[in-house]
Amino acid sequence: MLQINDPVIQLKGLTKCYGKKKAVDDLDLTIYKGEIFGLLGPNGAGKTTTILMMLGLTEPTAGTVHVCGYNATRSPIAVKRSVGYMPDSVGFYDNMTALENLLYIARLNGLPEHEIRKKCMETLALVGLAGDADKKTSTFSRGMKQRLGLADVLIKDPAVIILDEPTLGIDPTGVREFLILIKQLSRQRGITVLISSHHLHHVQQVCDRVGIFVNGKLEVEGNINTLSGSMLNEGGHTTTVTLTAPVPQPWPHMAIFSGLDAVKEVNVQDKDLVFTCTHDITPAIVRLLVENGCDITGVHKKDYSLDDIYQKYFENNAAETTTH
């Protein structure tokens, strides 16, 4: 049995070409048991193609995919048994109830008939749909359909769940609840989760690690703190100090910072003094300002969020990433 930190998904040199286009370009990635990994990228980055190769639904041009120890290209059936895949748009039989839809999926998955009904009711309860079991899915909101889609996936007790754009079209509360549910399931059952998304704010809430995927290549991967730390090292630390009144230019106190080697640049913006430093020296800056009679109303240290990270790597695709 796999233990936490054992590799569950392993992609090595994975490449997929459609004609001359490299949809996925020499991708190396390892995802570990119990981990929630966010595959982030704009439309057309190659996320879906990567997922299809993980499921053995499309063959790599080069490289290998292993999921739960199985080669997805050679043993697609074994992989499908271990992996629950939820596509970006889940379809149901609208004239059937939620329970009837789930019973149908459970039978397709070969669950023993004597335990099917109990298992389906338990799974509906797990995704928060116990009270809606007898409602026709035609009456379901998109958020409810998404939960039922998750129930479809969970019915076979998968070791891995792959969710393709799971938060598309759900309202903010629904998104939050759905992601909390995913996190609980992963933590309680040790399920490995891969979420493909271009909604960075959503995945940021739950992912242990993210990979930023652009033009078929994994530009960067790590947890949010590591990624933001590496950006701080590149761009410098920024501290903004707000004074009570607009700062005159030239500012008469500028010379007081000449002794601080860490200060690379000071910019004046209305009431704000913006310091770019080689490392964080916020306390020293504030002390010097107070000693020189400046009245401070606010101090703000810039942290790099996933937004900044995403923007940096998606610069050429920025318009696309903000349209959804």
Ligand X SMILES: Nc1ncnc2c1ncn2[C@@H]1O[C@H](COP(=O)(O)OP(=O)(O)OP(=O)(O)O)[C@@H](O)[C@H]1O
> Phi/psi of residue 34, each to 5°?
80, 0
Which of 46, 84, 211, 236 binds ligand X (CB under 6 A)? It is 46
Please give the span between the terminal C-alpha atoms of the chain, in angstroms, as a whole number: 40
Q: Which of 49, 97 has the CB closer to ligand X?
A: 49
H-helix or E-strand containing 98? Answer: helix 98-108
Q: Which of 48, 167 has the CB closer to ligand X?
A: 48
If binding is defined by CB under 6 A, does position 222 make contact with ligand X?
Answer: no
Which of 7, 44, 128, 174 binds ligand X (CB under 6 A)? It is 44
If binding is defined by CB under 6 A, does position 43 make contact with ligand X?
Answer: yes
Helices H, strands E: what count in the chain? 11, 14
If binding is defined by CB under 6 A, does position 202 make contact with ligand X?
Answer: no
Q: Is the preceding omega at residue 7 within 30 degrees of 0, hence cis?
A: no
Q: Which of 19, 131 has the CB closer to ligand X?
A: 19
Determine the interface stretch with ligand X among 44-52, 63-71, 128-136, 260-268 (rule: CB under 6 A): 44-52
If binding is defined by CB under 6 A, does position 38 make contact with ligand X?
Answer: no
If binding is defined by CB under 6 A, does position 197 make contact with ligand X?
Answer: no
Q: Which of 43, 233 has the CB closer to ligand X?
A: 43
SS3 169: coil
Question: What CA–CA distances, in Å, run from 95 to 91, 99, 100, 134, 287?
Answer: 12, 12, 10, 11, 70
Q: Which of 175, 214 has the CB closer to ligand X?
A: 214
If binding is defined by CB under 6 A, does position 48 make contact with ligand X?
Answer: yes
Determine the interface stretch with ligand X among 16-24, 155-163, 284-292, 311-319 (rule: CB under 6 A): 16-24
The distance of closest approach from Cβ of residue 197 to ligand X in the complex, given in angstroms and rounded to an integer, is 9
Q: Where are the beta strands (DSSP E) in 228-291?
A: 237-243, 263-269, 272-277
Minimal CA–CA distance to 263: which of 252, 272, 254?
Answer: 254
If binding is defined by CB under 6 A, does position 18 make contact with ligand X?
Answer: yes
Quote the CA–CA distance of 48 and 117 in Å, as a whole number: 33
Sorted by sequence, the CB contacts under 8 Å of residue 306 that are 6+ apart come out as: 200, 201, 204, 210, 224, 227, 228
Q: Which of 90, 247 has the CB closer to ligand X?
A: 90
**Binding residues among 132-151 for ligand X as defined by CB under 6 A:** none
Minimal CA–CA distance to 155: which of 184, 186, 193, 116?
Answer: 116
**Binding residues among 155-184 for ligand X as defined by CB under 6 A:** none
Determine the interface stretch with ligand X among 5-13, 42-50, 78-86, 202-210 (rule: CB under 6 A): 42-50
Q: Looking up tokens 């292993």, which residue turns up?
A: 66
Determine the interface stretch with ligand X among 38-46, 79-87, 173-181, 222-230 (rule: CB under 6 A): 38-46
Residue type, 147: R
Determine the interface stretch with ligand X among 47-55, 104-112, 186-194, 303-311 (rule: CB under 6 A): 47-55
Size of the site for ligand X (CB under 6 A): 11
Quick one: CA dihedral 112, 115, 121, 123, positive or negative? negative
Contacts with ligand X, residue ranges (CB under 6 A)? 18, 21, 23, 41, 43-49
